[in-house]
Amino acid sequence: MEDIRQKLILESKNLGIKVTAEQAAKFQKYMKLLVEWNEKLNLTAITEPEEILEKHFLDSLTTLLACKFKDGAKVLDVGTGSGFPGVPIKIMRPDLQVTLLDGSNKRLNFLGELCSELGVECRRVHKRAEEAGLDKAMRENFDIVTARAVAQLRILCEYCLPLVKMKGYFIAMKGPGANKELFEARNALDILGGDKVDIKQVQLPNAGERNLIVVRKLSFTPKGYPRHGGTITKHPL
């Protein structure tokens, strides 16, 4: 397995993020476990070390540039899949309370093993996002909610904003075309309580443009949202 530690430290520094040697070693182990488990669980189509470094690790770390993560903040990663960006965030900021939400028990089993091997503690929740949004223990309970490559923004808003607490943030990780998605999501944002919006653009060395859509929640999400998953997809706000 190729050693990506020094390159990760250098490329992260170019983004304005400091990765220590200890943290880089955890990412190296993360890559090894991801590739090993991928053979039986099909966790990712990205399996080359250079691509994992950039399209998974560096991409995930850009979330730390999106807004201020206060000490001990409660972070929820919706549709976490193989742990991106939730686990990289936890590696970099052990003080944060990170919850990984996914609808697949197999992926969550991998994440349990991964976190144990890396020596990081993340809560894992087996629910669909719309179920979590209706759960009183989770609804409007998180300082920051992240989502990466899950759905169009106007659909993501209904999955994620009900989980964000007042004055918290929703970070949607997008590629090119973020402005168009944001325009289409204006109605969803108005209805669900998302108000102040910022787009932070980041350039990755080879993967190119990445956009972090940062939504500040400034009013409560009305009862009745989120709707059923099928309705959200077929009739987006």
- The per-residue pLDDT for 91 is 98
| pLDDT attached to residue 129 | 94
Domains of the chain: 5-234 (3.40.50.150)
Write out the chain's pLDDT in tens, 237 residues: 789 999 999 999 999 999 999 999 999 999 999 999 988 887 888 878 899 999 999 999 999 999 999 999 999 999 999 999 999 999 999 999 999 999 999 999 999 999 999 999 999 999 999 999 999 999 999 999 999 976 899 999 999 999 999 999 999 999 888 999 999 999 999 999 998 899 999 989 887 899 999 999 999 999 999 998 889 999 999
φ, ψ of residue 194 to 5 degrees: the values are: -85, 125
Angle between the N-to-C axes of helices 105-118 and 21-41, in degrees from 0 to 180, rounded to the nearest 10 = 150
Question: Structure pTM?
Answer: 0.95
